[in-house]
Amino acid sequence: MNLALIDLNMATMAGPDYGVVDDGAIVVEGGIIRWLGPRADLPGVDETRSLGGRWVTPALIDCHTHLVFAGDRAAEFEQRLRGASYEDIARAGGGILSTVRATRAASTDELFESGLLRLTALAASGAATVEVKSGYGLDIDNELKMLEVARRLDAESDISVIATLLAAHTVPPEYKSDPDAYIELVCNELIPAVASRKLADAVDAYCEDIAFTAAQVARVFAAAQAHGLPVKLHADQLTDGGGAGLAAEFSALSADHLEYASTDGIAALADAGTVAVLLPGAYLTLNESQRPPVEAMRANGVAMALATDCNPGTSPLTSIREAMALGSRLFNLTPEECLAGTTREAARALGLDDRGTIESGMRADLAVWDIGHPNELCYWLGRQSLAGLFVAGRNASLA
């Protein structure tokens, strides 16, 4: 039984100029796109559904979030507005560690329920695939708990959730005087446990003065790869710590943030085919002034993805479409780069080759929009323009 979506314009993101097909049709069967093209060429089908002249794009992909957490950091946000820096707060035991305390104290059900609200908000902004990181547990049981919640969000929602182990997010209080011993625990116990239970699809780390050194991250990455898990990195967000080069050395799927990445680091990302994930919500919330080197990325041919970084500390952002609107304004990305960054390139940043464009053989993950052109996806601020979301060919619930 196949279904043809008709009365639509589409941005396939599989060719130049958004891959636009005016007055197109898309045939879906078994959750997969079987045919697409001008409606005039539509082959015989079992059923047709009119989309009333709306636009269809690949469903959006939020490739970097920390949306499973307990509590919030609104008080810290206020402290920062009064002059404290993110690093000051982190060094005083707040920041990521305050969310760690709340997350450790929360039950699996509490984390699931609050995570589901944020996941649903992201879906209502057009996301059919959302990556979720651990990193607020920072011990074996609580990191596993966070990943189990991510797997449950995948199983019990309409959205496809990709889970990433971020145990090397910051040094847990128990290991303050011996961070290397924590790295040993992550490499020798946590990564093997996560790999054998298939609880994560990748391993991430935070390479920064207030987190882990390049040498510590390299040990985590080697352990991840020895267990068949691809890696990604929070790199060069607040300082140039050589993160981009380190990510490239390990052929990471992505290097994320990159405000302070060096010229050499960008060239290394290009050579390694590592995707740069840009996070304007964190840049905005931290009131940063150094933009990621977008011009150098373009010049070197580095693929750029765009994500919300949804987290309680630096980016309380639950709309992937709003992340596009911020990316265009704060980082000077073109509307087409923003849409590629939340579709085709975001899929690459997650190592997914079955979604991110509208092409025959891809998953039927499609977003339907009330817009006159795809450049409006960056243009409007705070406007709800999503009219429908198909995930593997099925209508997703948006409330």
Residue from the set 123, 127, 187, 282 that interacts with ligand NIG by CB under 6 A: 282
Bridging pattern class, strands 254-257 and 275-278 = parallel
* Helix, strand and coil in the chain, % to nearest 5: 40, 25, 35
> Which residues, numbered 294-313, are part of the site for ligand NIG (CB under 6 A)?
309, 311-313
Question: What SS3 state is found at 49?
Answer: strand
Q: Annotate 72-93 with b (16+ C-beta within 10 A) or e (fewer).
A: ebeebeebbeeeeebeebbeee
- Whichever of 95 and 137 has its CB closer to ligand NIG, that residue is 95
Size of the site for ligand NIG (CB under 6 A): 14
How far, in Å, CA of 391 to CA of 32, rounded?
10
Q: Which residue number is nearest to Fe ion in terms of Cβ?
A: 309
> Is 358 in contact with 56 (CB distance < 8 Å)?
yes
CB of 24 to ligand NIG, least distance (A): 37
Rule CB under 5 A: is residue 309 a binding residue for Fe ion? yes
CB of 64 to ligand NIG, least distance (A): 7
For Fe ion, the closer of residues 62 and 309 by Cβ is 309
Q: Which does 129 bind (CB under 5 to 8 A by kind): Fe ion, ligand NIG, none?
A: none
CA–CA distance, 53 with 9 (Å, rounded to integer):
7
d(CA 175, CA 353): 39
Q: Does 76 bind ligand NIG (CB under 6 A)?
A: no
Nearer to Fe ion, 309 or 365 (CB): 309
Spatial CA neighbour of 307 closest among 332, 261, 340: 340
355 binds, among ligand NIG, Fe ion, none (CB under 5 to 8 A by kind): none
Looking at 112, 182, 206, 212, which residue binds ligand NIG (CB under 6 A)? 206
Residue 199 to residues 26, 160, 164: CA-CA distances in angstroms? 34, 14, 8
**Sheet strand arrangement including 202-207:** 60-62, 127-133, 160-168, 202-207, 231-235, 254-257, 275-278, 304-306
Contact between 96 and ligand NIG by CB under 6 A: the answer reads yes
Nearest C-alpha neighbor of 165 from the set 194, 189, 140, 193? 194
Q: Contact between 99 and ligand NIG (CB under 6 A)? A: yes
Calculate the CA dihedral of residues 284, 326, 259, 314 and round it to 10 degrees: 40
Q: Closer CB to Fe ion, residue 61 or residue 386?
A: 61
Choice between 311 and 385, CB closer to ligand NIG:
311
Closest to ligand NIG by CB, 241 or 245: 241
Cα within 13 Å of Cα(122), Cβ side: 39
State the nearest-atom distance from the C-beta of 234 to Fe ion, in Å: 5
**Nearer CB in complex with Fe ion: 10/138:** 138
C-beta closer to Fe ion: residue 208 or 309? 309
Q: Which residue is at the shortest CB distance from ligand NIG?
A: 313
**Beta-bridge partners for 380:** none
Q: How far is the CB of 169 from ligand NIG (least distance, A)?
A: 6
The window from 20-28, 156-164, 291-299, 308-316 that contacts Fe ion (CB under 5 A) reads 308-316
Can you tell me whether residue 353 is helix, strand or coil? coil
Least Å distance between CB 155 and ligand NIG? 25
Binding positions for ligand NIG, 224-243, rule CB under 6 A:
234, 237
Binding-site ranges for ligand NIG (CB under 6 A):
66, 95-96, 99, 206, 234, 237, 282, 309, 311-315
